[in-house]
């Protein structure tokens, strides 16, 4: 992490879904943030009106931060958040659609972890270590609204498994040109399913080789994130879904008895012939730097991709907290007998895979002047 | 399981490495076998001379079978096993090479779980649900010995991960012709590493994305098993390693916190265009019957491959004991965006992946008249 | 397990809560029962009308038994169960109270796993390996009903943790006279909490030192079970709660990441001075035989209490399935520096701790002629 | 943690057993210490001569600290450590006896985690949050040596389970006078057994109700720590083993599938009648402050004993890292029906239960002027 000279003094932020798993992580991270100040907490009607410590079933390994202990939780309606320049949403997808739209309509900047707007053609799906260029869609999103918005917008981050794999893929496309195909098998942590989430009877001494909707998300979101923005006849922008260089992605998603940290076995084929060597791949991954870091976002990791040399790393328990989980680990870069190159990716699903990405996106929005 | 009318009355068998993990499973299975009778137990010098219950650190979930409780453990030298028509070896690879050779030399039929002779050009590597035709190499193996052997031979079964994947692959090649490529990502149980094996500190709340030598074994053994036997100029036979239809295999092997049952995500490409549909694949897998079952081997499972229809199966904890772990489970058969078809395989690594395969191989040898 | 000559041919039974965790275990056990025949399955309105395989989320390690696969699930109302001589209830306590009462009122014999009637002064709380004498309360229970019942009654079994500890305590009181105090610390399996039950995020790599209501249940139920039946002035019977020899019980209950099998560390003080030696305790535990076994109940274990000699046993994973989980394991019998004797108990919470106990109770009722 | 004004600038320290589990934790903690500077690393001959990163199989969740990465590991002989004012020993007990004696003989101050000298009548067994008064034995220890030592001594900390329970016991004896009896049932983490330690096959989905030698250690060490120092006729001091108020302790030790953090269920009886109430106990525990904190030791926790009010805490996964694991957590303080009061203790076995205690002991030695 590093800061920059010209960072803002203080920016008030709100957290929606503040008592949930992602909401708790938002609060833990924001309580130590250099300029985001937690100003309002939103949750369901059942929690509204209670002090945060009474409303929450706190499951983090650090205590409830002092500044929110006695904060009164509010309902998720825009009136309670008007003073917030940024609203982080950890809402579940069954309520996120309506609430986030209401907040955008009320001219609030919403950074969402929910899946609801990821496929919206006017909403950027931003992995902050990869495609901050997609912020360019925000003016069009505002303009399409009726009446046109001045400050409000919705920006989402990606599914936690997508985030892990898309960072090294972006680094490799940057270095070696377009990819042609990509096979991914995930071993995902239980925290990816929220709380109460996965019943212990289903996962202790077990693997569940299925996560509802996950493979489709990975196969679709990756294309939106790795793709660019095209401009049509009348100046209308659209996400190009990597369509100039069709990229075939096949994902197999599994749940394993790991608390935190998604491990993914990835194999890729480059368009370029001959493909780069494993050593060239390692170097390109190590050399890759995110815009977020270059622009001085305080939550950006120094090593966007950390490449392990040990033969048996990365491992979720040992490596998930490196750089506070804000970067991505890669190991076992080697040749693949079917495609070109294969490797193992580890990403902390609740840090870079969720709350940290939203916060980084908001930091990027600040740096880019989209939020003042 | 099913029996046949004309089975032998009693065949005396020995178990080498009787106190180890695989040896214990041999004993548990053989104690209930219709015609194999445990006659001699071999272990290291440290155990030799002790009663079995005193020599063993028994880790099975059923008690030590009554018939071996007081049996005196012997050293692994052929003299103690001369009355055995079959010798099952659960020896570790660091001692298996020499001991198994000594037993073969002493005219004993050795069914080995160790890796030492799997790559030997005269030793069949037999997954009993797949390539019992490779028994045809035994006469040549005996003939090459000096002096030629009359009864002795070594036959090995495959690595536990190889066994799981090779059964459905064989079924599909039988139905649809040769495969062209195969990507496999495994999630392997800790029991695959023996005892004490994987330290708990390494695997609780963790995934280890590396198992020494495992990927190489899977990529090589699969070719030997799925391949045929060629006959050269002078009538000399050799394993053809699937070389008429080159098959590219890429394996990524992971250890997960599961006690028993290897789960494998498999994606394949057929040579045939267009490839079969998922439904055709399901039907072919279900229809596949092993020689072992057709020939009436009592340990052969009725369903060689059991195809699950539920979206989230097979799972190791729930499905590993189906048919006493003697068959293979397949689920989630569906299209792959990179290759043709993908699916999930579950195989019980200590049953069909180890002891059960050796016993089935010995049953095949009995049926085929190789052992009398 | 053993049978007897004069067992009934066939007795039709129903299962309430047939899709739940306990209900599934009932069905798995009853499908192999020598004379209980599953005749009707009851579940919530949501399941009623569906075939069992469609209604259930089957979580057992054996497949759904053939005889219930296509059985249509019914609502839990007595009309659907009139042909059943026995009704096993695996209902949750939030609905068990009303439904079980309705079934009793309809002259059905209800064997319940729920806690609702355990404290009822007319309902026997029977651990079948301990206090089958409490069946003697049934006539009074029927008589108190208005109008008096001829066949209907409710009989409950105990909490799963209580069951484990009460068996060796009963054996020791039988051999050495009354106990004076008993300290128990439990390490309970997740299956004790049903499904979905304990969230995996709460228990992987963790211990939860609290189970709601559990300590109170253990401290109270043990007294009812170990106590006798007193007869008052007018011939009215009541449970004496061990009040002739006050017994102080202190329980500390913990949840641990174990799938099945409750482990309990127990320390006791006898009234008798000097107390028996550890060896005498071991012998008394081994010698103890249940009425259920003596009377030929087919589900009764041959070894009511199995005493382990190995220093590190019993262990849930290795010992929970011994005798199909129908007995209780005890190990590490040794002196206690504070009380007299301490030892470790293991009981399979879903077998003897739940479904097996209900079935044994029903077998006892058959043998005793309470059910015809 | 807090510092003080008059702390020393820099004190050079050595670590014996630097590649082991405890050694790694020493290094992780010392790398951030305000005045202890890692100067020399000792390990077995096999590691000697290698750079630390090459010698160690690093298993901590933070990377190898920069200052030791390239440090060359030495053999554990005093010559290599002469410049160290403090030597921390994480040696295994099979070698600790001889090596630690050699270091003491060479006038080095040895702070040991091994059990070898804990029962030595001249060696203090110090839990730094409890009995820093036992440092008073050091002059006598030096004097007994031939020739008398000027600087050398050995001081040990306690077994990890003992440490957890002895802190609240000391607090309660301080507030309410002597205890009379204490029953303890532990649920201990796998890291307490070092690396490779507990095989995963032994502990996943399991409890092992036995840890060799552990119960004896807890029952004996607690008496030495809670006892005082008596002075005999000729001014000779001895540890009194709490013999003025005999204290009976009974421990039952279990291994559970938890990575870090020992949970202990404790029940106690006070000599004082009537005993204090649960609320008085809570207050006394909260009020207790260690000498180490009062004297400004930088590694001392602000809350020696943190008392949880939530009904289901402490839990190892959630609470073990509070205050960097340097304090002890207590929860569920309530009445016991057999003794007086019962509660749950959680102590981080690798922090306060091992390395942190040694470092705190060394800080105490600095503050007390025993080390200069």
Q: A171-183: per-residue pLDDT in tens? A: 999 999 999 999 9
Share of chain D above pLDDT 90, in %: 96
Residue A302 has φ and ψ, to the nearest 5°, of: -65, -45
Q: If you ran DSSP here, which 8-state letter would residue D44 be given? A: -
> CA of B159 to nearest chain C CA: how many angstroms apart?
25
Two structure tokens written together for A33: 């943030």
The closest of B213, B212, B243 to B226, measured between CA atoms, is B243
Structure confidence at residue D7 (pLDDT): 66
User: What distance in Å separates the CA atoms of residue C148 and residue C139, rounded to the nearest whole number?
Assistant: 10
Cross-chain CB nearest to B263 (options A207, A258, A339): A207
Residue A302 DSSP symbol: S
C17 plus C126 within the same structural domain: yes
Nearest to D43 by CA among D21, D65, D64, D59: D21
Instruction: Please give the pLDDT value at position B3.
Output: 45
Has residue C1 been placed in a domain?
Answer: no
Contact A204 C59 (CB under 8 A): no
Chain B CB contacts of C61 under 8 Å are 317-321
Between chains, do A202 and C201 touch, taking CB under 8 Å as contact? no
- Among A329, A298, A300, residue whose Cα is nearest residue A312: A329
**Is A3 domain-assigned?**
no
Does C249 contact D337 at a Cβ distance shorter than 8 Å? yes
Any domain includes D372: no
Collapsing DSSP to helix, strand or coil, A305 comes out as: strand
Euclidean distance between the first and final Cα of chain B, in Å? Answer: 22
Q: Classify strands D109-112 and D341-347 as parallel, antiparallel or unpaired.
A: unpaired
Give me the residue from D250, D258, D336 closest to C250, CB to CB: D336
pLDDT in tens, D356-365: 999 999 999 9
Would you state the pLDDT for residue C234? 87
Confidence of residue C35 (pLDDT cuts 50, 70, 90): very high
- The answer to whether residues A128 and A141 belong to one domain is yes
Nearest to B340 by CA among B186, B182, B168, B167: B182
> Is A5 a member of any domain?
no
H, E, C per residue of chain C: CCCCCCCCCCEEEEEECCCCHHHHHHHHHHCCCCCEEEEEEEECCCCCCCEHHHHCCCCCCCCCCHHHHCCECEECCHHHHCCCCEEEECCCHHHHHHHHHHHHHCCCEEEECCCCCCCCCCCCECCCCCCHHHHHHHHHHHHHCCCCCCCCEEEECCCHHHHHHHHHHHHHHHHHCCEEEEEEEEEECHHHHCCCCCEHHHHCCCCECCCCCHHHHHHHHHHHHHCCEEECCCCCEEECCCCCCCCEEEEEEEECCCCCCEEEEEEEEECCCCCCCHHHHHHHHHHCCCHHHHCCCCCCCCCCEEECCCCCCCCHHHHCCHHHHCCEEEEEEEECCCCCEEEEEEECCCHHHHHHHHHHHHHHHHHCCCCC
What's the pLDDT band for D308 if we cut at 50, 70, 90?
very high
> Residue B205: left if φ>0, alpha if ψ -120 to 50, beta else—which one?
left
Decide: C234 and C273 in contact? Cβ < 8 Å. no
Averaging pLDDT over each range in B4-18, C3-17, C190-204, which range is the top one?
Answer: C190-204
Work out the minimum CA distance from C311 to partner chain D, whole angstroms: 7
> Does D73 score more than 50 pLDDT?
yes
Q: What is the CATH number of the domain that holds C309?
A: 3.30.360.10
Q: For chain B, which chains pass the contact test of at least 3 CB pairs under 8 Å?
A: A, C, D
Phi, psi of B128 (to 5 degrees): -60, -20
Same domain, A103 and A224: no
- C45 and C167 share one domain: no
CB of A175 less than 8 A from some CB of B:
no
A160 is catalytic: yes
> Residue B43: which domain range?
11-159+355-367
Is residue B1 in a domain? no
Closest CA to B88 of B22, B149, B44, B136: B22
Contact B90, B113 (CB under 8 A): yes
Q: Are residues A153 and A174 in the same domain?
A: no
Q: Do C339 and D250 touch (CB under 8 A)?
A: yes
Say if residues C157 and C126 touch (Cβ distance below 8 Å).
Answer: yes
Residues A199 and A343 in one domain: yes
Tell me the pLDDT band of B7, cut-offs 50, 70 and 90: low
In the prediction, which pLDDT does C8 show?
A: 74
Query: Which residue in the list A39, A262, A303, A308 is annotated as catalytic?
Result: A262
- In chain D, helix, strand, coil percent, each to 5? 35, 25, 45
Residue D343 in any domain: the answer is yes
Instruction: Tell whether A206 is within 8 A of chain C (Cβ).
Output: no
Q: Whole-angstrom Cα distance, residue A163 to residue A217?
A: 11
The tens digit of pLDDT for each residue in D1-48 reads 444 445 678 999 999 999 999 999 999 999 999 999 999 999 999 999
Report how many domains make up chain A: 2
Is residue D152 within 8 A of residue D346, CB to CB? The reply is no
Q: Does A191 touch chain C (CB under 8 A)?
A: yes
What are the DSSP calls for A241-255, one per residue?
TTTTS--EEEEEEEE
pLDDT at A43 over 70: yes
Task: Answer whether residue A266 shows pLDDT above 50.
Answer: yes
Cβ-contact D371, D11 below 8 angstroms: yes
CA–centroid distance for C264 within its chain = 16
Interface A-D: count of C-beta contacts within 8 A: 23
Question: Looking at residue D178, what is its pLDDT?
Answer: 98
| Strand-strand pairing, C341-347 and C328-335 | antiparallel
Span B207-252, pLDDT tens digits: 999 999 999 999 999 999 999 999 988 889 999 999 999 999 999 9
β-bridge mates for residue C254, sequence order: C187
pLDDT at B6: 57
**Residue B247 and residue B128 in one domain:** no
Q: Tell me if residue D347 falls in helix, strand or coil.
A: strand
User: How many angstroms separate the CA atoms of C17 and C10, rounded?
Assistant: 22
d(CA C204, CA C259): 11
Residues 6+ away with beta carbon under 8 Å from A168: A266, A285, A305, A328, A330, A343, A345
- CA-CA distance, A1 to D198, in Å (whole number)? 37
Say what the pLDDT of residue A2 is: 46
By the 8 A CB rule, do C133 and C229 touch?
yes
Partners of A318 on chain D (C-beta within 8 Å) are 59-61
From C76, C160, C182, C253, the catalytic residue: C160
Q: Does C59 touch chain B (CB under 8 A)?
A: yes
CA distance A98 to A78: 12
Give D 250-309 residues with CB within 8 A of chain A.
Answer: 259
For residues A163-176, average pLDDT:
98
The contacts of residue A309 (CB under 8 Å, 6+ apart) are: A331
Q: Is residue A136 part of a domain?
A: yes
What angle, 0 to 180 degrees and rounded to 10, lies between the N-to-C axes of helices A21-30 and A356-367? 50
Residue C7 has pLDDT above 90, yes or no: no
Q: What is the pLDDT of residues C84-98, one digit of tens each?
A: 999 999 999 999 999
Each residue's pLDDT tens digit, D163-207: 999 999 999 999 999 999 999 999 999 999 999 999 999 999 999
DSSP collapsed to 3 states, B225-285: HHCCEEECCCCCEEECCCCCCCCEEEEEEEECCCCCCEEEEEEEEECCCCCCCHHHHHHHH
Residue D326: Cβ within 10 Å count: 29
User: Which residues does chain A have within 8 Å of residue B263's beta carbon, measured at their own beta carbons?
Assistant: 207, 209, 254
The overall longest dimension of chain B from CA atoms, in Å, is: 63
What residue in C sits closest to A203 (Cα-Cα)? C200
Whether chain A has a CB inside 8 Å of the CB on C206: the answer is no
Same domain, D141 and D188: no
DSSP states along A134-180: GGGGHHHHHHHSSSPPSS-EEEE---HHHHHHHHHHHHHHHHH--EE
The alpha-carbon gap from B295 to the nearest alpha carbon of chain A, in Å, equals 34
Q: How far apart are CA C61 and CA C58, in angstroms?
A: 9
User: Would the CB atoms of C317 and B63 count as touching at under 8 Å?
Assistant: no
> Under 8 Å CB-to-CB from A36, ≥6 apart: which residues?
A11, A13, A30, A86, A359, A362
Q: Tell me the two tokens of residue D293.
A: 């904190």
pLDDT, average across residues C42-68 = 95
Residue A141 CA to residue A55 CA, distance in Å, equals 35
D228: three-class secondary structure by DSSP:
coil
Q: Name the residue among B196, B181, B142, B149 with its Cα closest to residue B341.
A: B181
Evaluate if residue B117 carries a pLDDT over 50: yes
| A-B Cβ pairs (cutoff 8 Å, strict) | 129
Alpha helix (H) residue ranges in A17-64: 21-30, 52-55
Q: Does residue B317 belong to the interface with chain A, where contact is any CB pair within 8 Å?
A: yes
Same domain for C30 and C70, yes or no, is: yes
Whether B160 is catalytic is yes
A146 and A87 within one domain:
yes
Same domain, A179 and A320: yes
- Does residue C4 carry a pLDDT above 80? no
> What is the residue-averaged pLDDT of chain D?
96
Rg (CA), chain D: 20
For residue B12, what is the enclosing H or E element?
A: strand B11-16
The CATH number of the domain holding residue A116 is 3.40.50.720
For residue A41, give both structure tokens.
């907490």
pLDDT at position B348 is: 98
The CA distance from C291 to A149, in Å, is 80
Strand partners, C311: none
Spatial distance between the Cα atoms of C228 and C244, rounded to a whole number of angstroms: 9
Strands of C179-188's sheet, edge to edge? C248-255, C179-188, C262-270, C341-347, C328-335, C305-307
Residue A192 lies in a domain: yes
The token duo for C362 is: 């029903």
- Both C300 and C339 in one domain: the answer is yes
CA D112 to each of CA B342, D24, D95, D185, D320: distance values in angstroms, whole numbers, following the listed order: 56, 14, 12, 26, 23
């Amino acid at each position: 992490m590093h800061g920059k000279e010209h960072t803002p003094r203080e920016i008030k932020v709100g957290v929606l879904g503040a008592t949930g798993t992602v909401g708790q992580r938002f609060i833990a991270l924001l309580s130590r943030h250099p300029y985001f100040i937690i100003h309002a907490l939103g949750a369901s009607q059942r929690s509204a009106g209670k002090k945060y410590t009474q409303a929450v079933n706190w499951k983090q390994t650090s205590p409830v931060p002092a500044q929110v202990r006695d904060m009164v939780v509010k309902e998720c309606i825009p009136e309670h958040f008007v003073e917030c320049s940024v609203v982080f949403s950890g809402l579940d997808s069954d309520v996120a659609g309506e609430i986030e739209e209401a907040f955008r309509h009320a001219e609030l900047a919403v950074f969402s972890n929910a899946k609801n707007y990821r496929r919206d053609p006017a909403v950027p799906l931003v992995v902050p270590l990869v495609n901050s260029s997609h912020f360019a869609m925000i003016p069009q999103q505002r303009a399409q609204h009726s009446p046109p918005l001045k400050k409000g917008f919705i920006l989402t981050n990606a599914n936690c498994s997508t985030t892990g794999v898309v960072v090294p893929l972006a680094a490799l496309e940057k270095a070696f040109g377009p990819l042609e195909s990509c096979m991914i098998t995930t071993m995902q942590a239980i925290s990816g399913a929220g709380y109460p989430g996965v019943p212990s009877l289903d996962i202790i001494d077990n693997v569940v080789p299925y996560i509802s909707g996950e493979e489709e998300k990975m196969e679709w979101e990756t294309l939106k994130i790795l793709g660019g923005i095209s401009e049509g006849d009348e100046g209308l922008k659209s996400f190009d879904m990597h369509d100039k260089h069709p990229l075939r992605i096949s994902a197999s998603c599994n749940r394993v008895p790991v608390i935190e940290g998604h491990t993914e076995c990835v194999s890729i084929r480059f368009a370029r012939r001959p493909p780069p060597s494993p050593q060239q791949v390692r170097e390109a991954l190590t050399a890759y730097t995110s815009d977020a870091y270059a622009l001085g976002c305080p939550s950006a990791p120094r090593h966007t991709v950390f490449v392990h040399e040990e033969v048996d790393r990365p491992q979720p328990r040992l490596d998930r907290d490196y750089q506070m989980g804000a970067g991505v680990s890669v190991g076992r870069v080697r040749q693949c007998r079917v495609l070109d190159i294969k490797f193992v990716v580890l990403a902390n699903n609740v840090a870079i895979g969720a709350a940290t990405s939203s916060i980084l996106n908001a930091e990027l929005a600040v740096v880019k002047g989209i939020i003042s």
